Structure 1
Amino acid sequence: MLAELKQIREALAPTPPPQEPGKKKNLMDEFKEFLIRYKVMGLAVAFIMGLYLGALVKSLVDNLIMPIVELFTPTGFSWELFTLGPFRVGAFIGDLITFIIIALVIFLIVKLTTKLGLK
């Protein structure tokens, strides 16, 4: 199993691009190489998309799912304000539902990209 993990680590490690002998790199060339090798632009796009996905799912939970839950609770009961002593249980449950939905979406995206053979 340890050998398999080493193989996976070696497969995921970025390979340095070949350097022409006698040519020195300037700072700009090194920066371009860094951006390409570590796929920084793709990472930045994924990060921004993740932020907005989180906001979208939070809105889905707050504005669509939890109002349905409130239909089955006593009149005047607000799930955000539900507490048990000092613990804000209602807000936690809303955040937990948001987390579960985001985790499910990420799982489905990874499963789809694996099925399509994308890295």
Structure 2
Amino acid sequence: MTVDRTITNSVGSDSEMLDELRKIRALLEPKPAPPAPPPPKGFVKEFKMFLEQYKVMGMAVAFILGLYLGTLVQSLVTNLIMPIIDIVLPGIAWQNIHAGPFLIGSFLGALVTFLIIALVIFLLVKITSKLGIK
């Protein structure tokens, strides 16, 4: 009799375990994707959805700010940093430094501008990521 009771308990717990496993499997199965929202009706609504979906306004603002940031940094390099180089190298116009046909001075000015812009963008990204802005 003891043997029969053990087998019965084992079978009962196995079926319970299978039921639990089936429930878990049902929870883990991927759900079908919800149906896509109907397309907006009307040109204005469609255009508004386009602006929101692709974040066009944010890109436009970033582009315009980037242009003016470049202008600002170019002015910083030309009017503040390169005059320091003129003090260090008196009597030599850095813009006119060249080796044969290669205008090294102009390239160095552009390189300094690029490095400053890259540094400013790096700092902006670092600060905004610390603030949680994506």
Aligned twin of 2:84: 68
Percent of aligned pairs with the same residue?
Answer: 59
Listed one character per residue, the Cα deviations across residues 14-45 of structure 1 (whole Å, up to 9, x for unaligned) are: xxxx635xx75222211110101111111101
Larger RCO (CA within 8 A; separation ≥ 6): 1
Which letter does structure 2 place at the counterpart of 1:61?
A: V
Counterpart mapping for 1:32-71 below 5 A? 32-71=48-87
Aligned twin of 2:27: none
**How far did residue 82 of structure 1 move?**
1.0
* Structure 2: gaps of 5 or more residues: 1-35
Task: Provide the C-alpha distance between the structure 2 equivalents of 1:30 and 1:51, rounded to a whole number of angstroms.
Answer: 29
Question: Kindly tell me: are residues 72 and 25 of structure 1, through their superposed partners in 2, closer, same or farther at Cα, counting changes over 3 Å?
Answer: same
Task: Give the TM-score of the pair, scaled to structure 2.
Answer: 0.69
CA contact (8 A) 2:96 2:105 kept: yes
* Structure 1: gaps of 5 or more residues: 1-17
Aligned residues: 99
User: Is the radius of gyration larger for structure 1 or structure 2?
Assistant: 2
Per mean C-alpha deviation after superposition, the further-off stretch among 96-105 and 26-35 is 26-35
Aligned twin of 1:99: 114
Listed one character per residue, the Cα deviations across residues 96-116 of structure 1 (whole Å, up to 9, x for unaligned) are: 000000001111111111111
C-alpha root-mean-square deviation of aligned residues, in Å? 1.5
The list of structure 1 runs, each at least 4 consecutive aligned residues, that deviate by more than 6 angstroms after superposition, is none
CA contact (8 A) 2:40 2:46 kept: no
Question: Kindly tell me: are residues 98 and 32 of structure 1, through their superposed partners in 2, closer, same or farther at Cα, counting changes over 3 Å?
Answer: same
Q: Secondary structure at the match of 2:64?
A: helix
Task: Provide the C-alpha distance between the structure 2 equivalents of 1:87 and 1:101, rounded to a whole number of angstroms.
Answer: 23
Task: Give the TM-score of the pair, scaled to structure 1.
Answer: 0.77
